Amino acid sequence: MPYSRRKPAARLDPRRPLVLDTRALPRSPGSARTEIRTVPAPADLHAGLAGIPEGADVRLDVTLESVTDGVLVTMRATAPVTGECARCLEPVSQAIEVRCQELFSYEQGAGDGEEDGYSLDGDLLDLEPVLRDALVLSLPLAPLCRQDCPGLCPECGALLAQVGAEHEHERATDPRWAGLRQQMVQAQPVGPPAPDTREENGRGSP
């Protein structure tokens, strides 16, 4: 679920890995700086059958740019994704890359803090809500171990990728027809058919 967009309710801790200090960025429009860092993934990044393990390394490539109303953040993030294949339920491990851009306003806002958008907390900005939204919305809801995964056998649950295309099961007889089938088997004659001993009359018919 996307993170609520609001100004921070409490003073940000500059020691947190997803908090950036903008004091080194001049507040004149057009000024910019780029920062690359690796941060631990926040908790509860899940969607469908996939998720990003808490604490996993997430690589960030962040550009901060001063604009008239605040700091424009352009971010690229790369994170590992784990989960289960939607067809065969085998473990899946892959990586996703997301890009996003958000404006952090200089205005601190007023009232109950429910206004749209993000704002700076003094000289600090918190990337966690932006990163959380971008990653969760990019997670595959039904990941596949491979695009042509054949899945599981509906009869026995075997991995079709392992047992091969020849894997099959004899169709079970519908129990509602079992009695009729037994009668048909019993009614069939045993051995070769008896020869026809009828004599023909003079007109060529029996």
pLDDT at site 111 = 39
Q: Percentage of the chain surpassing pLDDT 70?
A: 72
The CA-atom distances, in angstroms, between 192 and each of 82, 128, 182, 189 are: 66, 85, 21, 8
Buried b (16+ CB within 10 A) or exposed e, 68-83: eebbbbebebebebeb
Structural contact between residues 143 and 81, judged by C-beta atoms closer than 8 angstroms: yes
Mean pLDDT of 27-47: 94
Q: Which tens digit of pLDDT belongs to each residue from 139-164?
A: 999 999 989 888 888 878 788 777 77
Provide the pLDDT for residue 79: 97
Closest CA to 125 of 13, 2, 1: 13
Tens of pLDDT, residues 38-57: 999 999 999 989 999 999 99
Residue 190 makes CB contacts below 8 A (sequence gap 6+) with none
Q: What pLDDT, on the 0 to 100 scale, is given for residue 157? A: 75
The pLDDT value given to residue 197: 56
Residues 6+ apart with CB under 8 A from 194: none
166-203, pLDDT tens digit by residue? 787 776 556 666 666 666 666 666 556 656 655 555 55
Tokens 């962040």: give the residue. 62
CA distance 33 to 26: 9
Residues 6+ apart with CB under 8 A from 193: none
What the block records as the tokens of 26 is: 């001049």
Q: Of 59-63, 78-82, 113-117, 184-188, which range is least confident? A: 113-117
For the record, the structure tokens of 144 come out as 């596949």
